[in-house]
Amino acid sequence: MQPIRQILEDAPDAIPVPEELRHRRVEYILWSLDEDADKAKMGTVSSDYERSRVDRIEIPSRKERNARR
């Protein structure tokens, strides 16, 4: 069975599930394609919001990561 991908220009309150997918294990992903609307709802988001400023990244060895405490 092929996955269903559909873009809705104006999403309704409820999204119908096709009959062939009802009562089955499914994955449903809702993803906003309108980034401007997301930013307007959350207020102004600085570009630093998603980035961390660090001086150095330390990655422990596998032995250190798996050591029992």
Tens digits of residue pLDDT in 16-69: 888 888 999 988 888 888 876 555 555 555 555 666 778 888 888 988 888 886
Quick one: tokens of 65? Answer: 């990561």
* 21 within 8 A of 6, measured Cβ to Cβ: no
Per-residue pLDDT for 15 more than 90?
no
State residue 24's pLDDT score.
Answer: 92
Contact present, 26 and 40 (Cβ < 8 Å): no
Alpha helices in 5-56 (DSSP H): 35-42
